[in-house]
A = this chain, B = another copy of it.
Amino acid sequence: MSRSISTLLLAALLGWSGSALVPRSVAATTSPNIVIILADDLGYGDLGCYGHPTIRTPNLDRMAAEGMRFTDFYVAACVCTPSRAALLTGRLPIRNGMAGSEQRRVLYSKDTTGLPHEEITIARALKTKGYRTACIGKWHLSGGAPGFLPNAYGFDFYFGLRWSNDMEPAGKMPRNASMHPDPDPAWWSLTLMQDEKVFETNADPHTLTRRYTEEAMKFIRENRKQPFFLYFPHTYPHVPLFASDSFKGRSARGLYGDVVEELDWSVGQVLETLRKEKLAENTLVFFTSDNGPWLVKELAGGSAGLLREGKGSTWEGGMRVPGIAWWPKRINAGAVTHELACSMDLFNTSLKLAGVPMPTDRVMDGVDMSPILSGEGKSLRDTINYYRGGELWAVRQGAFKAHFQSAPGYGSPGNPLKFEKHETPLLFNLANDPAERFNLAKDHPGVIAGIQRVVEQHRASLVPGTPQY
């Protein structure tokens, strides 16, 4: 259904008047290109410009020096599938059935569902303004059934893996294969897709970052004369780690560093292509990660820097990630913003920049980040919801964060976490204490009560979507 959805039908879904259906030529001259580069499991502390001592990321550091670095950028979920669903739709995963649960945190190949087709992705919204759209890299918003790949959600082009790179095992492998310091590619059998077809089986995992990058550069060059939206979700540094020959063994940080340094190279290639094609001044590029570092993978996982815990947890390390925005002449070079922002805001911001009105038939959770990017205003966001599966574990309001439940790390069915429900929520002042060391609950019962009211309002109006997995 969704691939053939007509522009008019979509306009109706979005609640548009006819005036939104502007001619493509106008759109082409007024609508900026939008590129979202998403790393997988990259931690808050893993880039040079975020303080990592040994991983060298000169291209991302330069992107930050030429653009804006966010210190308080969040994702909407602490694992892959829901985080990606939220980024692309501007909605909390709990609303669209993509939140998962404690037992089923992400989609697997055996699942027969995916992102509900009535969801509006950035791609679908921008297509109404004549944008060419591509998803290059890891999708992870579908199970194995057909009809749930990017082309079903507004993407003209798709090239990449459907899921995480550890999700197509090839039979026998040693224990802890995914965190092996030098994994054997034969332990997995990766299927590269192009659009809805299998493009290659047993794809060489060493080549993914390079091939994704080549496809991204090609897409940019081929669409230089019209607005485009490139969603570029990398496979790495999710385990198992593989770098190309040019990067393997290059980083002091070992294989994890090699892989991040190759991603950094990739970002440099994208920005350089935009410059060469004279598109830089008409393109917003945003770099971020889908969740925090997978700490239980030890040296094959990343670092959250000074933040507590990592992927899978609702501590800061699980959900606060690097965020770098780049748009020469539109974003002040070298800016650092401490404003609150979330990956869901990329939806609102993209639509705003493209001149596409926001959907009016559904609850949206993003806000427009333009005031932050222009340096002219404050964030329109004052709350971050920290969902773990379908449950709201913590809420940040301004500088304060209350934890209603907590647990360390990722956990798995075989290695369950020790959950703790907090009768009196834990309370941290993230401005003063970003590492969440000092519980202030006793000192600020009023703050907790205020956050609890926000939670009650959120819950009262919440209509959870039908769980898709």
Contacts and interface: CB of A to CB of B under 8 A. Distances in A.
Contacts of A334: 65
A373 B253 CA distance: 23
A48 B252 contact: no
B48 A50 contact: no
Interface string A417-450: 0000000000000111111011000000000000
B45 A432 contact: no
Nearest to A181: B432
Interface residues of A, number: 35
Nearest to A62: B334
Contact of A71 (B45, B53, B303, B435): B53
Copies of this protein, total: 2
A217 interface: no
Interface in A41-70: 45, 48-54, 56, 61, 65
Interface in A347-372: none
Contact of A252 (B253, B306, B431): B431
Contact of A338 (B53, B431, B433, B438): B53
Nearest to A256: B432
A299 interface: yes
Interface string A379-416: 00000000000000000000100000000000000000
A298 interface: yes
A305 interface: yes
Given A65-B334, A305-B305, A306-B45, A53 B434 contact: yes
Contacts of A432: 54, 252-254, 257, 299
A51 to B, nearest CB: 2
Contact of A253 (B52, B431, B438): B431
A336 interface: yes
A72 interface: yes
10 residue pairs, one from A and one from B, having the closest CB atoms: A51-B51, A252-B431, A53-B71, A254-B432, A50-B51, A53-B434, A305-B306, A54-B431, A45-B306, A303-B306
18 contacts: A45-B305, A51-B51, A51-B52, A51-B305, A51-B306, A52-B306, A52-B434, A53-B434, A54-B71, A54-B338, A56-B336, A252-B399, A252-B431, A253-B431, A254-B431, A298-B437, A299-B432, A305-B305
